[in-house]
């Protein structure tokens, strides 16, 4: 079974631009969660989508948004990029139907904002 | 609210020595607890998890952890360190939703 894939793996943008990151979950998984990893703040939960609906949300500004498609693929968008948005963005997929299902992580997209 | 504290941002041990990475959690509900490992330029890989039942949990690569409710701890151990264990380790807690709260991570170095 193929793992979680994220594209692109690396991205360089300038301040003020917007960016879209993509995540393809493991086949059969309906939940996709996104995390931001930075040296200063560590790993922080952004949001989770299940069956095309946002089910959980972390404490990030509205510049961070996401969506999920009917095939469970998910995209994350960051508008008006700031230097502090430079980070490794990880997505994780799970079945999402029990109290807790194991989350499987992708390799991440490393975003650099100049 | 839930939180995780990992004691020691950097742990160094000799090859063949005991590995002990400490994790304490705070949770208002019965927690689900996890240890993940991250190698450079890679995502997170689950080492082991505690959901319910046996408090001593065995994971991959010879790691194990014990859930101690009275101490709110979930420390990770491995009897004998191997060079390939060098990586960053993250303890995480969940209340049951698909949302993990992570500790700050512990970088493990193995000395030959």
At A34, list the tokens.
């996104």
Do the Cβ atoms of B78 and B89 come closer than 8 Å?
no
Query: CA end-to-end span of chain B, whole Å?
Result: 41
**Structure confidence by residue, pLDDT tens digits, B71-89:** 999 999 999 999 999 999 9
Structure tokens at B99: 């949302």
Q: Which residues of B touch A33 (CB under 8 A)?
A: 98-100
Question: Which span out of A50-59, A88-97, B12-21, B31-40 was modeled with the highest average pLDDT?
Answer: B12-21
HEC per residue, chain B = CCEEEEECCEEEEECCCCEEEEEEEECCCCCEEEEEEECCCCCEEEEEEECCCCCEEECHHHCEEEEECCCCEEEEEECCCCHHHCEEEEEEEECCCCCCEECCCEEEEEEC
Give ∠ CA A65-A47-A5 in degrees, rounded to 5: 85
Least confident of A69-73, A93-97, A109-113, B95-99: B95-99
Cα distance between residue B24 and residue A64, in whole Å: 30
Taking CA–CA distances from A110, the nearest residue in chain B reads B41
* Contact yes or no for B89/B106 (Cβ under 8 A): yes
- pLDDT band at A102; cut points 50, 70, 90: confident
Question: Are A105 and B43 in contact (CB < 8 Å)?
Answer: yes
Contact A56 B43 (CB under 8 A): no
> Which chain B residue has the Cα nearest residue A98?
B96
* Distance between CA atoms of residues A34 and A111, nearest Å: 14
What's the rounded mean pLDDT across residues A27-37? 95
Please tell me whether residue A85 adopts helix, strand or coil conformation: helix
Cis peptide leading into B78, omega within 30 of 0? no
A45 touches chain B (CB under 8 A): yes
User: Smallest CA–CA separation between B18 and chain A, in Å?
Assistant: 26
Return the pLDDT at B77.
Answer: 98
- Say if residues B79 and B71 touch (Cβ distance below 8 Å): no
Q: Which of residues 30-59 of B touch A (CB under 8 A)?
A: 32, 36, 41-46, 49, 51
Whether residue A99 has pLDDT greater than 70? no
Average pLDDT for residues B21-36, to the nearest whole number?
92
Gap from B106 CA to chain A (nearest CA, Å): 11
- A28 secondary structure, DSSP code: T
Determine contact: A107 vs chain B, CB below 8 A: yes
Taking 70 as the threshold, does the pLDDT of residue A50 lie above it?
Answer: yes
By DSSP bridging, strand A10-13 and strand B56-58 are unpaired
Residue A77 tokens read as 């968008």
A43: chain B residues, CB-CB within 8 Å: 90, 92, 100, 102, 105
Check whether A13 has a pLDDT greater than 70: yes
Q: Is B107 on the interface with A (CB under 8 A)?
A: no
Q: In sequence order, what DSSP letters do the residues of A42-76 get, joined into one string?
A: EEEEEEEEETTEEEEE-S--TTEEEEE-TTS-EEE
CA distance A79 to chain B (A): 23
């Amino acid at each position: 079974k193929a793992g979680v894939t994220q594209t692109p793996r690396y991205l360089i943008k300038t301040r003020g631009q917007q960016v879209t990151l993509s995540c393809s979950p493991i086949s059969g998984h309906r939940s996709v969660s996104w995390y931001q990893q930075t040296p200063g703040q560590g790993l922080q939960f952004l949001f989770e989508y299940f069956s095309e609906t946002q089910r959980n949300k972390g404490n990030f500004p509205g510049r961070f948004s996401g969506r999920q498609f009917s095939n469970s693929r998910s995209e994350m968008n960051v508008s008006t990029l700031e230097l502090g948005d430079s980070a490794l963005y990880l997505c994780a997929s799970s079945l999402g139907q029990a109290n807790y299902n194991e989350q499987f992580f992708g390799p991440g997209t490393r975003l650099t904002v100049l | 609210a839930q939180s995780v504290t990992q004691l020691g941002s950097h742990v160094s041990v000799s090859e063949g020595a005991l590995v002990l990475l400490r994790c304490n959690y705070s949770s208002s509900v019965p927690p689900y607890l996890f240890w993940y490992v991250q190698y450079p330029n890679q995502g997170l890989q689950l080492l082991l998890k505690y959901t319910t039942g046996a408090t001593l949990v065995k994971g991959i690569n010879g790691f194990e952890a014990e859930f101690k409710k009275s101490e709110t701890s979930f420390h990770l151990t491995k009897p004998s360190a191997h060079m390939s264990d060098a990586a960053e380790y993250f303890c995480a807690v969940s209340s049951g939703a698909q949302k993990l709260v992570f500790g700050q991570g512990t970088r493990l170095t193995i000395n030959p």
